[in-house]
A and B are shown apart, each in its own frame.
Chain A
Amino acid sequence: MSKPKVAFFDFTSCEGCQLNKLNFENDLLDMLKLVDIVEFREAMDNRADEYDIAFIEGSISSPTCVERIHDIRRRTKILVALGQCAVSGGINAMKNDQPSEWVRETVYGEDKYLFPSLPAMPVSAVVKVDYEIRGCPMSPPEYLHVLKSLLLGRKPELKDYAVCVECKLKENECVLDKGMFCLGPVTRAGCEAICPSFGQYCTGCRGPVSDLNKDGAVNMLKAHGFSEAEAIKRMKMFNTNDLEKTISWGAK
């Protein structure tokens, strides 16, 4: 049996999620025994026509992105959104809250007409996404779990509970109790609570849990001494699209 063909593509992103994959020095060679990587711009020159699994990094934010992602979707059996930009628009979606003309002018100045731009969208806003690997950057153990599951023909088990669960399993001291800010109670787990485990707070980079109590979260942060404006601003950093629920086209 031939090995499954795997490809990686980047859209609007910092390419950090892909880079994170090249960092699995201990597992990389074992992984290559199981799959053929047929396209991976960051690591090789080869191109291919068809894929069994395509991993997509980055948000969709220009007409060219839309064309490319449709083309990839046509050529792959399974499509996985890799990292928060691909899953929700991520940090790129912060611009969706601003007037689009102003955003383009700020970035491109008088050449703004040469660079058509769309609001930063999740891949799933344009094509069907089969699985999502969240996080900024994506978490390597979760990525390996999804890859192994797909190779074995199993449905990956992705977590839809709060980072608090992983903190409690590790018996971390609560960062809110230390007087710090934290979005752990409403952010999806799967990162092994890596930030709180090392004394940082959760910035919400994996997006909110699916049954988010948004008002409850704002009130919780207010009770811990943060203003409503600050609470919403910090929640929106990675999650503008999730919190607005509709994609703003910037026409303000």
Chain B
Amino acid sequence: MQSKTNTHLQDLDYLFFDEATLRQFIVYLQTRAEVIAPHAKGERSYMYKPVKDAKEVVLNYPRTIQPLKKFFLPPTETLLTFKLSDNQYVEQTPEPGKRIFFGIHSYELQAILRLDYSFEKGNPESNYLTRRANALFIGISYKPDAYHFGKSVGIEIEKTDGFSLFIEPMENGYFIFIVDEAGRTLLEGFQAPQTQALVFEQQEKEFHNKIKYHHNRLPEVFEHAYHSDVWKDVSQRCLGCGTCNLLCPTCYCFDVRDEIELDAENGTRQRFWDGCMLHDFTRVAGDEVFRDKLHNRTRHRLFRKFKYITDHSGELSCVGCGRCTSFCPAKISIVEIINQLIKDVSEVKSI
């Protein structure tokens, strides 16, 4: 498996913003493009949405409910409208302007890079790629909670690949690192107030949630995992609700459905997120369901993250965001599943 170089923050040029300057910077960004950033949602959750008031942007958050994919592959999307009588249709093509995604964690952008791989290959997915073309990302580091495990899948908190700027929050302000030329241009346009020259020292952040093996050994673990008892054990607790699929930042499966208006004449073709954990996902003509059992579906989901796509792309399709575990109503832990598989495999090998 190839490992990309992880840019070290120390090697990058940086500025230092205090709180007020950072908020002004968001306002400045809004003059350049639509800015999308994390906001509080409900009582104790977070979601990405377009910024209306820079003061409402939340910079210290564990993870949002829906991942960033919602801006490139919307949960529901009209693909075309049609007319039954003359058999005509009009495709709906997205026309997004330039968008700046602000305050994004490294695992989230890594997930987008994995979706790029899947949607560029073979038959390119034009709606996704059109939306993707005009996007710019400004990253931020985060404090891992009980569910994050980015490091275990090779994605450090400060992995800057794909970002234009990267923010490191400190007690009294923010270091803003310049990652690429687009980022430098953005900063040059902003008349930042002069602040005293602070020297950045990288602080280690500890992940509490860990996979026992190094990430480049995981595809090998999955070579031996197909017949493991783990799948049936997990399916005792799993309710098959599909939350893990829908909120996974690298899951991209969708279904397409036609809906006719009440005039029985005009209609729309809708696309919406689907998931391999759902019972009817594999229902085919003739009413056969070929992954009828929950344990088969759980296994398939994990193999899609650690083996099937990895065999082609060389990258794990899990980015360690922890959504599938933290939002699971039954609190099934993906890290525990993998650690159990590792235990099984190492026991078999030691015989």
Instruction: Please report A residues at the B interface, Cβ cutoff 8 Å.
Output: 27, 30-31, 33-34, 144-145, 148-149, 151-152, 157, 160-162, 164-165, 168-174, 176-178, 182, 184-186, 209-211, 213, 215-217, 219-220, 223-224
30 residue pairs A–B, Cβ–Cβ below 8 Å: A30-B263, A33-B263, A34-B264, A148-B260, A157-B257, A161-B242, A161-B280, A164-B243, A165-B275, A168-B66, A168-B246, A168-B247, A169-B76, A169-B273, A171-B41, A173-B44, A174-B45, A174-B327, A177-B44, A178-B42, A178-B44, A185-B239, A185-B241, A186-B241, A213-B239, A213-B294, A216-B237, A219-B237, A223-B330, A224-B329
Interface pair A223/B45, CB less than 8 Å apart: no
- Verify if B75 is at the interface (C-beta below 8 Å from A): yes
Assuming A161-B278, A174-B327, A216-B330, is B47 touching A209 (CB within 8 A)? no
Closest residue on chain A to residue B297 by CB atoms = A211
- Verify if B347 is at the interface (C-beta below 8 Å from A): no
Interface pair B330/A169, CB less than 8 Å apart: no
In the complex, which residues 145-204 of chain B have their Cβ closer than 8 Å to any Cβ of chain A?
Answer: none
Task: Digitize B213-251: 1 where CB-to-A-CB distance is under 8 Å, 0 elsewhere.
Answer: 000000000000000000000011111111100110000
Assuming A30-B263, A164-B329, A186-B239, is B65 touching A173 (CB within 8 A)? yes
Interface pair A213/B42, CB less than 8 Å apart: no
- Verify if B90 is at the interface (C-beta below 8 Å from A): no
Among B235, B280, B294, which residue has the most Cβ atoms of chain A within 10 A? B280
Partner of B272, one of A145, A162, A169: A169
**Residues of chain B within 8 A of A33, CB atoms compared:** 263
Q: Least Cβ distance of A140 to chain B in Å?
A: 12
Assuming A30-B262, A171-B65, A176-B329, is B279 touching A211 (CB within 8 A)? yes
Task: Digitize B17-50: 1 where CB-to-A-CB distance is under 8 Å, 0 elsewhere.
Answer: 0000000000000000000000001111101000
- Verify if B91 is at the interface (C-beta below 8 Å from A): no
Interface pair B260/A165, CB less than 8 Å apart: no
**Residues of chain A within 8 A of B273, CB atoms compared:** 168-169
**Residues of chain A within 8 A of B330, CB atoms compared:** 185, 216, 219-220, 223
Interface pair A211/B294, CB less than 8 Å apart: yes
**Residues of chain B within 8 A of A171, CB atoms compared:** 41, 47, 65-66, 70, 75
Closest residue on chain A to residue B326 by CB atoms = A177
Q: Least Cβ distance of B18 to chain A in Å?
A: 32
- Verify if B125 is at the interface (C-beta below 8 Å from A): no
Closest residue on chain A to residue B247 by CB atoms = A168
Instruction: Number of B interface residues at 8 Å Cβ cutoff, please give it.
Output: 40
Q: Least Cβ distance of A208 to chain B in Å?
A: 10
Closest residue on chain A to residue B236 by CB atoms = A216
Q: Least Cβ distance of B302 to chain A in Å?
A: 18
Partner of B241, one of A151, A152, A162, A224: A162
**Residues of chain B within 8 A of A213, CB atoms compared:** 235-236, 238-240, 294
**Residues of chain B within 8 A of A211, CB atoms compared:** 240, 279, 292, 294
**Residues of chain B within 8 A of A30, CB atoms compared:** 262-263
Q: Least Cβ distance of A77 to chain B in Å?
A: 18
Among A144, A149, A161, A224, which residue has the most Cβ atoms of chain B within 10 A? A161
Complex Cα spacing A77 to B242, Å: 37
Partner of A217, one of B41, B76, B239, B292: B239
Partner of B239, one of A157, A162, A170: A162
Interface pair A184/B44, CB less than 8 Å apart: no
- Verify if B259 is at the interface (C-beta below 8 Å from A): yes
Partner of A169, one of B75, B257, B280, B331: B75
Q: Least Cβ distance of A4 to chain B in Å?
A: 11
Closest residue on chain A to residue B289 by CB atoms = A211
**Residues of chain B within 8 A of A170, CB atoms compared:** 75
Q: Least Cβ distance of B23 to chain A in Å?
A: 25
Q: A173-B41, A177-B327, A220-B239 are known; give 20 further A-B pairs, CB within 8 A.
A: A27-B262, A31-B262, A144-B262, A148-B260, A148-B264, A161-B242, A161-B279, A171-B41, A173-B44, A177-B45, A178-B44, A185-B239, A185-B243, A185-B330, A186-B241, A211-B292, A211-B294, A213-B235, A213-B236, A219-B330
Complex Cα spacing A170 to B241, Å: 15
Among A31, A151, A168, A185, which residue has the most Cβ atoms of chain B within 10 A? A168
Complex Cα spacing A162 to B263, Å: 30
Closest residue on chain B to residue A210 by CB atoms = B279
**Residues of chain B within 8 A of A184, CB atoms compared:** 241, 329
